[in-house]
């Protein structure tokens, strides 16, 4: 594998990781619909260490406005309930002794706008990350030229390919944001 191929491959992988991270972040933003991903960021103390809720309980979505958390051990119910209450999700857990129901309240117009504004910030941070990856890769290409590993033509070709990758991944970020906007803004 040439230095050019190596740099392009690494750039592609790093940009894909940025997109994967963005998808994960956006999935955590509550859009008025119940989804198990809403609980991904919540951890509970379990025998001395903190673990994600999905590792100590079954999480199901019986209808679009309800998440049901059924712990494998009943003694974990108060800890899970407390973790949900103190999270920034704004959910009010209902405990019946066997499981926890999390009703998802409808979002106000103002709250929808706030959520979308937050999503725009997350997307912009991803774009900045992708541009930083482009800058790093361009510097690697120029260094490889300086070290006589690549010719001037190869570097020019590499810079063009990295710019195409950047454009492709920036478009992906924009597409993900548009989809999230539809999800948040639809009533």
pLDDT at 81 over 90: no
> Domain holding 83: CATH number?
3.30.1360.40
- Domain span at 158: 3-28+108-185
Tokens representing residue 124 in the block: 């912009």
| 0.75 surpassed by pTM | no
pLDDT digits (tens, 9 = 90+) for 112-167: 888 889 899 999 999 999 999 999 999 999 998 888 888 889 889 999 999 999 99
Looking at 103, 124, 140, which one is the last position of a domain? 103
pLDDT of residue 106: 79
Query: Do 53 and 17 sit in the same domain of this protein?
Result: no
Query: Do 55 and 23 sit in the same domain of this protein?
Result: no
Query: Do 40 and 54 sit in the same domain of this protein?
Result: yes
Query: Do 131 and 164 sit in the same domain of this protein?
Result: yes
Pick from 45, 167, 34: nearest CA to 91: 34
Full DSSP string of 21-43:
HHHHHHHTS--SS--GGGGTT-E
Angle formed at CA 146 by CA 5 and CA 150, multiple of 5 degrees: 30
CA-CA distance, 14 to 163, in Å (whole number)? 14
Tokens representing residue 155 in the block: 């570097």
Q: For 34, phi and psi rounded to 5 degrees?
A: -75, 135
Pick from 78, 21, 76: nearest CA to 54: 76
Length of the chain: 187
Query: Do 143 and 88 sit in the same domain of this protein?
Result: no
Looking at 103, 123, 148, which one is the last position of a domain? 103
Q: What is the mean pLDDT of the chain?
A: 86
Chain centroid to CA 103: how far?
Answer: 23
Tokens representing residue 120 in the block: 């725009």
Q: Domain total for the chain?
A: 2
Query: Do 113 and 98 sit in the same domain of this protein?
Result: no
CA-CA distance, 118 to 42, in Å (whole number)? 19
Looking at 56, 72, 103, which one is the last position of a domain? 103
CA-CA distance, 19 to 130, in Å (whole number)? 9
Query: Do 118 and 181 sit in the same domain of this protein?
Result: yes
pLDDT of residue 1: 66
Query: Do 124 and 177 sit in the same domain of this protein?
Result: yes
Angular region, 87: left φ>0, alpha ψ -120 to 50, beta rest: beta
Query: Do 78 and 95 sit in the same domain of this protein?
Result: yes
Query: Do 99 and 113 sit in the same domain of this protein?
Result: no
Query: Do 122 and 178 sit in the same domain of this protein?
Result: yes
**Residues facing residue 140 across a β-bridge:** none
């Amino acid at each position: 594998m040439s230095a050019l191929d190596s740099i392009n491959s690494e750039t592609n992988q790093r940009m894909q990781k940025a997109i994967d991270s963005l998808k994960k972040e956006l999935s955590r933003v509550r859009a008025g619909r119940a989804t198990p991903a809403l609980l991904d960021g919540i951890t509970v103390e379990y025998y001395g260490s903190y673990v994600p809720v999905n590792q100590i309980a079954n999480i199901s979505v019986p209808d679009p406005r309800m998440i049901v958390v059924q712990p494998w051990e009943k003694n974990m119910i108060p800890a899970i309930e407390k973790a949900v209450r103190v999270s920034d999700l704004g959910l009010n857990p209902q405990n019946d002794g066997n499981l926890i129901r999390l009703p998802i309240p409808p979002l106000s117009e103002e709250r929808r706008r706030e959520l979308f504004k937050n999503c725009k910030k997350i997307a912009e941070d991803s774009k900045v990350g992708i541009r930083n990856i482009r800058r790093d890769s361009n510097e690697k290409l120029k260094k490889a030229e300086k070290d006589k590993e690549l010719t001037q033509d190869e570097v020019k070709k590499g810079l063009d390919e990295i710019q195409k990758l950047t454009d492709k991944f920036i478009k992906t970020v924009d597409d993900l944001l548009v989809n999230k906007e539809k999800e948040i803004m639809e009533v």
